[in-house]
Amino acid sequence: MNKLLFFIKRPCVIFVLGKGSSFAAEIISKTLKDKNVLILGPETSDFFLKKSKLPILVITDSDDKKEISDIKRLAKIIPSHGFLVLNFDRDRIRDIRDVGAAQCLTYGFYKKADLQVSDLNITSDGTNFKINYQGNIVPFWFKECLEKKHIYSILSAIAVGIIRDINLVEISQSLR
């Protein structure tokens, strides 16, 4: 997307980085169903993150010190009207919330996560769990037998949906 077209459309820009970022980006796209969203990976220019009307940096997980260093650099440049979406269950990712001025929404299995999973049930018939966000509890069902690592990508998509003002029930239905 060239810069002039970017300034005309002013899309929400979502950077998705870390392990499982491709799957997370796919689920985010399915959750949003919004034409005015640009979902990008690590190979993109900082320009889009700095100039977006709603920049969102989604971090799934990483063990790579260089990648974490790059992520922290990006977190520092996000304006205060932007968001960090972080995996609360990983210390090295959770600590990124203190790096910049952006608002932060965390997800995970720990009770201190903003968006918390409970009652995870993985069977050969499918996967289901509950999401607790600000006292609201909504069930999610998937026909596929998902691994725990996939749940984290789904949680990042749910967090982005919340940032975009999509109701949890609507998100649950769109991912069903």
Element (H, E) at 175: helix 168-175
pLDDT tens digit string along 20-72? 888 999 999 999 986 678 888 777 678 888 888 899 999 999 888 998 998 99
Place of tokens 């002013």: 10
Order of strands across the sheet that contains 126-133: 37-40, 12-17, 54-59, 83-87, 103-108, 115-123, 126-133, 136-142
Residue 146's pLDDT is what? 85
Q: What are phi and psi of 34, to 5 degrees?
A: -110, 130
pTM of this structure: 0.91
β-bridge pairing 136-142 and 83-87: unpaired
Letter string b/e over residues 80-117, b meaning 16 or more CB atoms within 10 A of that residue's CB: eebbbbbbbbbeebbebbebbebebbbbbbeeebbbbb
| Number of residues that this document lists for the chain | 176
Domains of the chain: 3-175 (3.40.1190.10)
